[in-house]
Structure 1
């Protein structure tokens, strides 16, 4: 199984964006609230026998656009 992360976007749903304040031993620590993100992933799963192809039957890769005639 292979997992590809291909999109990360800030989640803009309304939330409490007030700074987080912690108090300990008479001191205050203020820090930013967490950043909420939406992640989109693609998962691929291959079985050992279903995708077996002999190397001779594969087509050669296409040339890149830089090598194509104009």
Structure 2
């Protein structure tokens, strides 16, 4: 199901990560199983971890309108 955002900040920053081909294949499979592309899946993973660590209040203005998997 596509996600709809009332407001979504422009995402300009990028992060490059090196993975083994098998880990990348697994990542793609898991993301697609959840109906997300890899970028969305990783973004949700990162945001959920930041929330778990209570690090989001300091960056919450940048996240207005984001939908997090719960």
User: Where on the TM-score scale, by shorter chain, does this alignment land: which range?
Assistant: under 0.3
- The structure carrying a bigger helix percent of its residues is 2
Larger radius of gyration: 1
TM-score (norm 2): 0.22
TM-score (norm 1): 0.22
Q: RCO greater where, 1 or 2, for CA within 8 Å and sep 6 or more?
A: 2
